[in-house]
Amino acid sequence: MGRILAIANQKGGVGKTTTTVNLSACLAYIGKKVLLVDIDPQGNSTSGAGIDKSDVEQCIYDVLVDDVEASAVIKETKIENLDVIPASIQLAGAEIELVPTISREIRLKRALEEVAKQYDYILIDCPPSLSLLTLNALTAADAVLIPVQCEYYALEGLSQLLNTVRIVQKHLNQDLRIEGVLLTMFDARTNLGIQVIDEVKKYFQDKVYRTIIPRNVRLSEAPSHGEPIIIYDPKSKGAEVYLELAKEVVVNG
């Protein structure tokens, strides 16, 4: 059975999508069979993994709302070992449409059970909220990976996320673990970045990944080419660190 990781933080712009796309691609690169599941209506990880949104007829919306089988919406990417369940803007309506439905928090879990045995890893890119979509991800997941941007107020809002994790553990998924906290967009030229690292390590201790993702302009360029960094610029610092993270994730089990 594939390990299911939810990439979550209700703050926007902290590197969830960048991490989901590039960690998925790097895990695939080292030979793991990977499914990226996009549950953000923005669909940025769908396009970042190279799926042309105009090619998408059915997406995660149809799985969550209309009970379409996950296997029917999986798309192969041009990267060996990497498949995607795409999202489209239609998903923005799912939040409201799911409210009156039965077992609304466990729909993603049910859907992924059918395909999990075909993959080593399933990575879920969450939207920037603690909404029903994120609850579905946390309920389906074995563990949550929390990207934290190295900036002032980095820890702000994390208590809400941790509280949500505890609620999910209590009511929906008692096996949910915190896989790790990933420091992103680190800028070695500022003292602030170093202070934030210290602060986050004090709080999360051994849960913080050894790999720290620096600011790297190639990482921000890659999505507009529809390519993960390992394809767009395999020699870049961005490719190097996400490959290192992939190895760390594998070693952590």
In the complex, the residues that contact ligand ADP under the rule CB under 6 A are: 12-18, 44, 128, 184-185, 213, 215-216, 219-220, 223
List of residues 6+ apart from 112 with CB closer than 8 A = 4, 37, 70, 122, 140
Q: Which among ligand ADP, Mg ion, none contacts residue 219 (Cβ within 5 to 8 A by kind)?
A: ligand ADP
Taking the CB of residue 222, how many other CB atoms lie within 10 A of it? 25
Q: Which among Mg ion, ligand ADP, none contacts residue 211 (Cβ within 5 to 8 A by kind)?
A: none
Find the residue with minimal CB distance to Mg ion. 17
Q: Which among ligand ADP, Mg ion, none contacts residue 14 (Cβ within 5 to 8 A by kind)?
A: ligand ADP
Cβ atoms of 179 and 5 closer than 8 Å: yes
* Rounded-to-integer distance, Cα 52 and Cα 101, Å: 31
Taking the complex as a whole, how short is the minimal distance between the CB of residue 17 and Mg ion, in angstroms?
3
Query: Residue 241 is encoded by which pair of tokens?
Result: 């660190």
List of residues 6+ apart from 151 with CB closer than 8 A = 185, 192, 196
Can you say how many angstroms the Cα of residue 20 is from the centroid of all Cα atoms in its chain? Answer: 4
Q: How many helices (H) and strands (E) does the chain have?
A: 12, 7
Report the residue number, 45 or 216, with the smaller CB distance to Mg ion: 45
Which residues, numbered 6-45, are part of the site for Mg ion (CB under 5 A)?
16-17
Report the residue number, 116 or 161, with the smaller CB distance to Mg ion: 161
Report the residue number, 49 or 116, with the smaller CB distance to ligand ADP: 49
Cβ atoms of 9 and 146 closer than 8 Å: yes
Report the residue number, 13 or 93, with the smaller CB distance to Mg ion: 13
Report the residue number, 154 or 219, with the smaller CB distance to ligand ADP: 219
HSE, side-chain direction, 13 A CA sphere, residue 80: 4
Taking the complex as a whole, how short is the minimal distance between the CB of residue 128 and Mg ion, in angstroms?
7
Report the residue number, 48 or 180, with the smaller CB distance to Mg ion: 48
* Rounded-to-integer distance, Cα 63 and Cα 58, Å: 8
* Rounded-to-integer distance, Cα 158 and Cα 135, Å: 15
Taking the complex as a whole, how short is the minimal distance between the CB of residue 51 and Mg ion, in angstroms?
15
List of residues 6+ apart from 221 with CB closer than 8 A = 232
Taking the complex as a whole, how short is the minimal distance between the CB of residue 249 and Mg ion, in angstroms?
19
Taking the complex as a whole, how short is the minimal distance between the CB of residue 222 and ligand ADP, in angstroms?
8
Taking the complex as a whole, how short is the minimal distance between the CB of residue 130 and ligand ADP, in angstroms?
14
Enumerate binding residues for Mg ion (CB under 5 A): 16-17
